[in-house]
Amino acid sequence: MRAPSGAAQDWARPAHGLDWTCRQTLDHLALGLTGYAGLLIARSDDRYITLFASLDPEATVPACLEGLRIAVSFLTTTVRDTPAEARAWHPWGHSDAAGFAAMGITELTLHTYDITRGLGLPWSPPDGLSAAVLARLFPGAPSGHRPSDTLLWCTGRAPLPGLPRRTDWQWDGTVRRPPGP
């Protein structure tokens, strides 16, 4: 099996804009995605769950990426199997399965950006995923810019023309009624 591009890089480097290394950011992703699945399964009203998952600190980067794929699969399966009316606690708003899916996509795209920038690799969030996340988690996001640029601005990673880089941010995970007649 061929190692993914960038796997041979120095993952002890800081991830772009974070206090974590690139390798620690992978662990954060695995923990977060598994945690989102757990919150949806437990449907807690007021707290985090007690299950914490992490990657083996001795594992190679390709093995850690496999672990991350497993965490993505946990969340994907949980989102698919969670009834539409189910709600679960998150500190940034009680949410439904679609909200937790958007949170997972946000974590994956933003931290992939942080890692690739830290490793000096070119990558930016896909516009289609960015647009979906903006619509679900950032309803007040400015319009008129590429969705990926707007997502990076909403999460404090980049300025937008005419708007300074944000220093404080959070998404809104609450369930909103879709516009209708």
Q: Read off the pLDDT of each residue in 87-109 and give the average, rounded to a whole number.
A: 92
Residue 49 · residue 78 · CB < 8 Å: no
- Quick check: is 78 in a domain? yes
pLDDT of amino acid 42 = 87
The whole-number pLDDT of residue 180 equals 52
In a domain, 167, yes or no: no
Confidence at residue 45, expressed as pLDDT on a 0 to 100 scale: 80
What residues does 163 pair with on adjacent strands?
160
The reply to whether 59 falls in a domain is yes
Q: How far apart are CA 63 and CA 27, in angstroms?
A: 12
Task: Identify the domain containing residue 107 by its residue range.
Answer: 22-123
Instruction: Out of 49-58, 70-79, 105-114, pick the least confident.
Output: 49-58
7 inside domain: no
Query: Is residue 73, in this structure, part of any structural domain at all?
Result: yes
pLDDT, residue 9, reads 80
- Is residue 65 domain-resident? yes
Task: Return the pLDDT at 3.
Answer: 44
pLDDT confidence bin for 43, thresholds 50/70/90: confident
Cβ atoms < 10 Å from Cβ of 111: 21
Residue bearing the bigger pLDDT, 6 or 34 = 34
CB atoms under 10 Å from CB of 110, counted, come to 23
What's the number of domains the chain is made of? Answer: 1
CATH number of the domain to which 112 belongs:
1.20.120
Determine the average pLDDT of the residues in 71-91: 94
State pTM to two decimals.
Answer: 0.90
In a domain, 154, yes or no: no
Q: What tens digit of pLDDT does each residue of 107-131 get? A: 999 999 999 999 999 999 999 999 9
Give the residue with greater pLDDT, 47 vs 97: 97
Determine, yes or no, domain membership for 11. Answer: no
